[in-house]
Amino acid sequence: MAYPVIICGGELSGKTALCLGLIQKLLEMGLRVGYFKPVGLAGKSVEGRSTDPDAAVVKEALSLEDPLDLITPILLGKRYLEVFCGSEDRPIEKVLEAFRKLSEAKDVVVIEGSSRPETLTCSGCDVPSLSRELNAKAVLVLKGSGDEIAEAAVMYKRFIESGGGQVMGLVANFVPRQLIERVRGVIMPAAQRCGLTSMGIIPDRKELSLPTVADVVQELGAEVLSAKRRLDRLVEGLLVGAMTPESALSWLRRSAGSALITGGDRTDLVLTALEADVSVIVLTGNLYPSIGVLTRSEEKGVPVILVPQDTYTAVKQLEEMTGRITLSSSSIKKVKLTRDMIAEHFDWKAIVDDYVKWKESLRLSHG
């Protein structure tokens, strides 16, 4: 039997990054730690099977031995109610069986919640149900610095507890550094007055929340045509090149660090973008640029990459990766950064202390 803790919260709130950092910290302490994401979103095919992209990242980053179909026993498509609501099969039973197998020979299992705590409420496999059935406490993770964090946290606390679950505390994630003191002095105390313990205020780090050019290359299966040494640049936004160079110039200047996505036949627009300090030029439709474009991109240190997709498809793929941790040769450092951020800004000791109490209670109950 292993001690379970659930990391849950809103969409793109940094749950995967927190799980990565926490697992690394617990492993440092000599604990045997597992990772479990019982309800995932079907994504790319890995090992011949559709899988949740976050689960695949954690497995690869930490070299976990457990198979992906055990780590994530339930995968949801965009339309899943037909499958999971009205069926006689109870997804919670599949989750409990997978957890039993995965938790063997482990001390702690870090459970990543689905995109939102209420996912699969209709089928009895939401976070309150998981917390109740696994006797696992939930750590709420919410993104940002607005007053709505406290309101949302209290709502989720009541939702989880009304379903028989338990909440350990609240983490405010991706908080702009200039707003940390307000979060600490106003927002967290408001949540604490409603029974929520503050477990951390984690500053925003672009290195975690933004993809690198290397991530973009991997996501799109792109060919790198120039400036191959600059694939570590961060991509801070997306621009679609469907305008004249004159009208695009003002947008490009305000969007330094973005990726420009356009066809290889738009030489005029690409040369304008190279003067505006974009992070990468994504040329779609396998349309190769002129030699002049590649020469200038090398001089400016801005990678030009080529993809077979049309512009719309490429943009949709990149939008879906925004805010997620991905692994590439230049982004492995993100994994170490999650460990450092958790060690400094998250109350991981509260989880360790609760694990010790849990273990002692087991010993007494069997004594």
3-state secondary structure of 307: coil
d(CA 64, CA 67): 8
Q: What is the pLDDT of residue 86?
A: 59
Domain range list for the chain: 3-208+328-365, 211-321
Q: What string of DSSP letters covers 184-224?
A: IIIIHHHHHTTTPPEEEEEEP-HHHHS-BHHHHHHHHTPEE
Query: Does the structural domain 211-321 have CATH classification 3.40.1390.20?
Result: yes
CATH class of the domain comprising 3-208+328-365: alpha beta
- Predicted local confidence at residue 340, as pLDDT: 93
Check residue 137 and give its pLDDT. 98
**pTM to 2 decimal places:** 0.83
The predicted structure's pLDDT at residue 160: 97
The pLDDT score that the predictor gives to residue 275 is: 84
Question: For residue 175, what is the enclosing H or E element?
Answer: strand 166-175
Cα–Cα distance for residue pair 46/97, rounded to 1 Å: 22
Distances 89 to 50, 97, 367 between C-alpha atoms, Å:
21, 13, 38
- pLDDT attached to residue 274: 87
Local mean pLDDT, 10-residue blocks, the chain (367 residues): 95 92 96 96 70 89 93 88 69 95 96 93 93 97 92 96 97 95 96 97 85 88 93 87 65 78 85 87 92 92 94 86 60 82 96 95 79
Say if 3-208+328-365 and 211-321 have the same CATH topology.
no
pLDDT, position 148: 93
What pLDDT, on the 0 to 100 scale, is given for residue 321?
72
Burial of 20 from C-beta contacts in 10 A (0-12 / 13-18 / 19+):
buried
pLDDT of residue 334: 81
SS3 358: helix
- Using DSSP's 3-state secondary structure scheme, residue 306 falls into strand
Least Cα distance to 291 among 278, 310, 304, 308 occurs for: 304
Residue 159 is predicted with a pLDDT of 97
CA distance 275 to 267: 13
Which residues, including other chains, have CB under 8 Å from residue 350's CB and lie 6 or more apart?
A: 168, 169, 197, 199
